[in-house]
Amino acid sequence: MPQSIVRARSIAARLSALGLEPHLKRDREYVRVEVTPPNSPTPTVWLALLAALEQGDQFGLHTDGQATVAWALVFNEGPPAPPVQRADPQP
């Protein structure tokens, strides 16, 4: 089993232990773990949610005015390298 799946399932298990219902979405480059956070989480639950998500390579929160989704990405090959900054060529 790919390491990215193992890590994503581990994140999902931690979220499930909080009583949440995580969903895994596989992509060619990563596995995305998504969960709808509780409306009014206690500080303990919120910190546990963040601790689970930060096990991913990237994580965040998306709100569109209708719904909120907390997510974590686990890259198949590790996180992508940051873009290289190049100076503009001088004439």
Domain ranges of the chain: 3-75
Report pLDDT for 16.
97
DSSP per position, 4-28: HHHHHHHHHHHHHHTT---EEEE-S
Report pLDDT for 83.
62
pTM recorded for the entire structure? 0.80
Decide: 72 and 23 in contact? Cβ < 8 Å: no
Backbone angles phi, psi at 76, to 5 degrees: -65, -35
Tens digits of residue pLDDT in 14-63: 999 999 999 999 999 999 999 999 988 999 999 999 999 999 999 999 99
